[in-house]
Amino acid sequence: MGAVKVLVSGGAGYIGSHVTRQLAAAGHEVVVYDNLSTGNAWAVLGAELVVGDLADGDRLNALFAGHHFDAVLHFAASIVVPESVTEPVKYYGNNTCNTLGLLARIVRSGVRHFVFSSTAAVYGVPDVEAVTEEMALAPINPYGASKMMSERMLMDSAAAHPALDYVILRYFNVAGADPEGRIGQATPKATHLLKVACQAALGERDGVDIFGTDYPTPDGTGIRDYIHVEDLARAHLDALGYLERGGESQVLNVGYGCGASVREVLQTVKRVTGINFTVREAPRRPGDPARLIAANEKIGRVLGWTPRYGRLDTIVRDAWAWEKKLVRGGAPASARGG
């Protein structure tokens, strides 16, 4: 794939920054648009950063007027499931309405390719061992519903404007950090299990809560398909290359096809770190399904994507190295205290 000009919305955030770094390393011209509400300017490596909010129509119009983008990769979103239950208007506003505004400008500007950051939460509580892309969507929380609506808007826009094609990537549970320690999860008050567990191991938290121990799973705790952020980022580059080669629009799961329970993850963190931190049992959180595992045959077949960091130990080691770097002051001051 030749170099293209790419807009990355939310490119200063956890996942967006890893994708931005890989895009820049591959020789693409990258512009990041981010309001820095949860992202960090220091995490934008090899790209131009434009600070702005997707709800700011004038700022967005100026961005598209000043650049001719070949592709847009859209990450900017609110992502905390329990918060979406208590603050649904925030999620429909930020995730759905702001995506609509971005889509309008993409269509007007003649952007050819759109890679959308979606979620396995669109599936709801599927009664299957592994979720396929063809399953009916039935989200059980506003976060999943807001992403489902955005998917539909993108599909309808592409159907009405054949020059626009897309890949929708439905993420499962993203974790880990850049293996070279340049960037990682630094979102303030992050709720990701692996980050919370690593912070507990470092004494930055007083322990970890398991939300729900009575799920219909072998050890009673929720099971998730954990994917290394570097593998996830590479899936976006593979998707962009696929579209550049003339590939048809696709919806693809991004996961490893296997799951680990909350207890298994915490045991792995304890083993890798050598630290026995406190674990507490707590009631279930609203909107959490018991099990979410990806059927991932399609992404391998369509994009040729294969995992490189697919072991849970590897994910934990990279997450642990990043958290230690934050505590020791090896990352920018704004990254610490996340």
pLDDT digits (tens, 9 = 90+) for 272-325: 999 999 999 999 987 678 888 999 999 999 999 999 998 999 999 999 999 999
Q: How confident is the model at residue 337 (pLDDT cuts 50, 70, 90)?
A: very low
Q: What is residue 1's predicted lDDT score, i.e. its pLDDT?
A: 66
Q: How many CA atoms lie within 13 A of 103 on its CB side?
A: 24
Q: What is residue 82's predicted lDDT score, i.e. its pLDDT?
A: 85
Residue percentage of the chain with pLDDT more than 90: 88
Residue-averaged pLDDT of the chain? 94
| pLDDT average, residue stretch 35-55 | 96
Query: Please, are residues 299 and 171 in contact by the beta-carbon 8 Å criterion?
Result: no
| Higher-pLDDT residue of 327, 151 | 151
Q: What is residue 333's predicted lDDT score, i.e. its pLDDT?
A: 47
- Rounded to the nearest 10 degrees, how much is the dihedral formed by the CA atoms of 171, 174, 178, 179? -110
In the predicted structure, residue 55 carries a pLDDT above the cut 50: yes
Q: What is residue 288's predicted lDDT score, i.e. its pLDDT?
A: 79
In the predicted structure, residue 125 carries a pLDDT above the cut 90: no
In the predicted structure, residue 222 carries a pLDDT above the cut 70: yes
Integer Cα distance of 309 and 294 in angstroms: 16
In the predicted structure, residue 338 carries a pLDDT above the cut 60: no
Q: Which domains does the chain have, with CATH numbers?
A: 5-175+226-254 (3.40.50.720), 193-224+258-295+311-335 (3.90.25.10)
Which 8-state DSSP code applies to residue 71? E
Catalytic annotation, residues: 143
Q: What is residue 250's predicted lDDT score, i.e. its pLDDT?
A: 98
In the predicted structure, residue 331 carries a pLDDT above the cut 70: no
Residues ≥6 apart with Cβ < 8 Å to 261: 217, 218, 219, 221, 222, 223
Q: How confident is the model at residue 8 (pLDDT cuts 50, 70, 90)?
A: very high
